[in-house]
Structure 1
Amino acid sequence: MHVEEVFGFDKKAVSVGVYGTDDAAHPGVARTAAMNESLVGGRIELVSRPQETGIRRYRMTPTQTRQAFVEAGWKTIVAFQTRNPPHVAHEMLQKTAITTRDGVFVNPLIGRKKSGDFVDDVIVRCYESMIQNYYPENRCRLATLHTEMRYAGPREAIHHAIMRQNYGCTHIIIGRDHAGVGSYYDPFAAHKIFDDYPDLEIAPIFFPAFFYCRKCITFTNPRACPHGAEDREQISGTKMRAMIQEGKAPSEFILRPQVSKIILDHPAPFVD
């Protein structure tokens, strides 16, 4: 960095502006509070790019992703942001989105996460397995996004959309409580905020939560299924982590068997 400016900043104002709260229990607010008192700005000069090996083997630049989409013949590309291994419900979201689009760009976030989230190696290996076993050829592209989760809810949803717009995507799936944490954000705040950004060149796709209904005998969502919770195969993240820590595999309607095996065989699947 060629330093051009050093300046202080108001941590509380930053926290409220980005996260909508200054509650120290919020992981993003805690990270902001732990920062030093000054910020440094200036021109960045790339000396050398890190080797694209190990967890970085799927890293791609926007130039590379745009070229890959052209080579695949895709004109409409749906981005999928995730910080978790693929639930079958997530797979159904992606496949539903590409029934009327050319392909899905699965772009897991690789980097610092909060305690209890899945580690990066598990996320990548699970997606490799899911794509190999359950996707038709030339309908899904995997690339990793190397940054960190901020858990900023609706504002982070906009940031996620802008990054995927830069990659060349035309659409992005925005789920319930996108980039949320705890109960800090309304579950659909990340849907509503897109009304305030009409100049984006990427279109959000909003889906309710998918689940398997034993009576409908299919994966569906509350808008299409009249049956109650007792007929639905779904599980909270907390309960799923508890099952995995006990060495139990969730139902095949929650996780594909190959995905469950990767997680259960990993010596430390969760961030400490």
Structure 2
Amino acid sequence: MASSATIVFSKSPSPIYTNHVSRYPPGSVSVVSFNRRRGFSVKSALIEPDGGKLMNLVVEESKRRVMKREAEMVPVRIRLNRVDLEWVHVLSEGWASPLRGFMRQSEFLQTLHFNSIRLEDGSVVNMSVPIVLAIDDDQKNRIGDSDRVTLVDSVGNPIAILSDIEIYKHPKEERIARTWGTTAKGLPYAEEAITKAGNWLIGGDLQVLEPIKYHDGLDRFRLSPSQLREEFIRRDADAVFAFQLRNPVHNGHALLMTDTRKRLLEMGYRNPVLLLNPLGGFTKADDVPLSWRMRQHEKVLEDGVLDPETTVVSIFPSPMHYAGPTEVQWHAKARINAGANFYIVGRDPAGMAHPMEKRDLYDADHGKKVLSMAPGLERLNILPFKVAAYDTTQGKMAFFDPSRSQDFLFISGTKMRGLAKKKENPPDGFMCPSGWKVLVDYYDSLSAESGNVRVSEAVVSA
């Protein structure tokens, strides 16, 4: 990518931003915004959250005791499942700013049909996946004319109050078709959170009684957008570039991230900081669990594959849809709220194999193309990256060179998992040894669990 600033206009009125480059005073992040009447404007600061204000829906500490008593007095309780709680977490910290709670019907329909929400001042923010709470017929009847409900966890502990509520039909087929572009059976998130969910959606304003914690040893990695912004300021970042992933980090990923920082330095930035932001919510069954991925990420930093001084590792609490070009907009938008003004996007972001056919569900290039022209993402700098593969002539991961394609070995996620399961080593230079050991240990633990299950079954049958 060239080091000079480039603004490319499409045939539509909206600009496509490839790089916005300027030099600013220390501690600032460059932001280029577009206004249809005034044209381009430049300012220095961390990029503003969507809507101009970062939402914090957690009740102030001084008011929590009163609010908890109030939550106990609300007659109707809605029990949250795992995915519901993850969305409460997302909303509470402002990842979905300017949303103030679960979507009401107007916000839901705009998200479903326009991938965006129009604010009161006429501006548009990106919003590509519905953030909604489903209830069943019995719950709807119990709510009746009430204007608020208490949301509780799996054991009945109050989590939040949802006020000024609106209940409306849950159009499941339309929601699935518009989010994934198909209604094929086997879509992981749809089966987990939609098809068996209630026939009604309830929206309203959230008051979350205290910060969401999981007590799984990983809460120290769960930095909110406001905490991340404070950390970027503390590190004196003048650019923040985000990398979204839900897999272990191999040296190809590291190459993309270190090359991005190099490019930003060449473009004139003084201290670009990487936000390594692994997804921490619901994932499909064959993905490596979060706890193991975080162990692996720590090894990558310990071994110096990524520089700890210029890398912030933090968990993104969102559930995963695997909805390709639709979902990648959500991933990018949320990182704006966390303070990132550059977003790295690669091949088939948020994609997956078709659940019923032997092909990819989405075109591999559509994600990055959609991001470059998505409504409400004009302020975000999109950084498409070249494909990285194992260069057999150099014995390391490198950017693919089609002129000597025979020299490159593509190690897919499936192949990587297969090697780890068999305790076989990948080629030297594919992943740092300590990181690879974590992956092998994970699959080894699965084999041990499987063996224990077989033993238990044998004992029972005897």
CA contact (8 A) 2:395 2:428 kept: no
TM-score with structure 1 setting the length: 0.91
Match of 1:209 in 2: 387
Query: 1:63 and 2:234 equivalent?
Result: no
CA contact (8 A) 2:390 2:411 kept: no
- 1:109-124 matches, within 5 Å, as 109-124=279-294
Q: Which amino acid aligns with 1:168?
A: G
Change in CA separation of 1:184 and 1:8 when aligned onto 2, cut-off 3 Å: same
- 1:133-212 matches, within 5 Å, as 133-134=303-304, 135-182=306-353, 183-197=360-374, 199-200=376-377, 201-212=379-390
- Please state how far the C-alpha of 1:52 moved relative to its aligned partner: 7.0
Higher-Rg member (1/2):
2
The worse-fitting range, judged by mean Cα deviation, of 236-245 and 167-176 is 236-245
Match of 2:9 in 1: none
Match of 1:34 among 196, 207, 226: 196
1:176-231 CA-to-partner distances (Å, cap 9, x unmatched) read: 01000101100011011124326422211101220131235654323x452124x2
The worse-fitting range, judged by mean Cα deviation, of 105-114 and 126-135 is 126-135
SS in 2 for 1:73: coil
Match of 1:232 in 2: 408
Match of 1:106 among 272, 276, 293: 276
Instruction: Name the count of aligned residue pairs.
Output: 268
- Please state how far the C-alpha of 1:133 moved relative to its aligned partner: 1.5
1:104-138 CA-to-partner distances (Å, cap 9, x unmatched) read: 10000012111210011111111111112223342
- 1:42-57 matches, within 5 Å, as 42-51=204-213, 53=215, 54-57=217-220
Distance 1:62 1:114 in 2: 25
Q: Which amino acid aligns with 1:243?
A: L
Q: Which amino acid aligns with 1:214?
A: T
Q: Which amino acid aligns with 1:98?
A: R
CA contact (8 A) 2:372 2:382 kept: no
Match of 1:8 in 2: 169
SS in 2 for 1:69: helix
SS in 2 for 1:17: helix
The runs of 5 or more residues in structure 2 that have no matched partner are: 1-161, 265-271, 354-359, 451-462
Match of 1:261 in 2: 437
1:9-31 CA-to-partner distances (Å, cap 9, x unmatched) read: 21111111111111112223333
Query: 1:19 and 2:19 equivalent?
Result: no
1:52-84 CA-to-partner distances (Å, cap 9, x unmatched) read: 751222011111111111111111111000001
Indicate the percent of aligned positions where both proteins have the same amino acid.
25
Distance 1:141 1:5 in 2: 39
The runs of 5 or more residues in structure 1 that have no matched partner are: none
Change in CA separation of 1:265 and 1:84 when aligned onto 2, cut-off 3 Å: same
Q: Which amino acid aligns with 1:12?
A: E
- Please state how far the C-alpha of 1:268 moved relative to its aligned partner: 3.3
Distance 1:217 1:260 in 2: 17
Change in CA separation of 1:218 and 1:88 when aligned onto 2, cut-off 3 Å: closer
Distance 1:7 1:52 in 2: 31
Distance 1:50 1:25 in 2: 30
SS in 1 for 2:208: coil
Distance 1:35 1:181 in 2: 23
Distance 1:15 1:193 in 2: 19
The worse-fitting range, judged by mean Cα deviation, of 5-14 and 128-137 is 128-137
TM-score with structure 2 setting the length: 0.55
CA contact (8 A) 1:23 1:29 kept: no
Query: 1:248 and 2:411 equivalent?
Result: no
Match of 2:258 in 1: 95
Distance 1:46 1:26 in 2: 30
1:154-190 CA-to-partner distances (Å, cap 9, x unmatched) read: 1111100000000000111111010001011000110
CA contact (8 A) 1:214 1:233 kept: yes
CA contact (8 A) 2:170 2:198 kept: no
Match of 2:240 among 55, 59, 77: 77
The worse-fitting range, judged by mean Cα deviation, of 22-31 and 150-159 is 22-31
Distance 1:58 1:217 in 2: 33
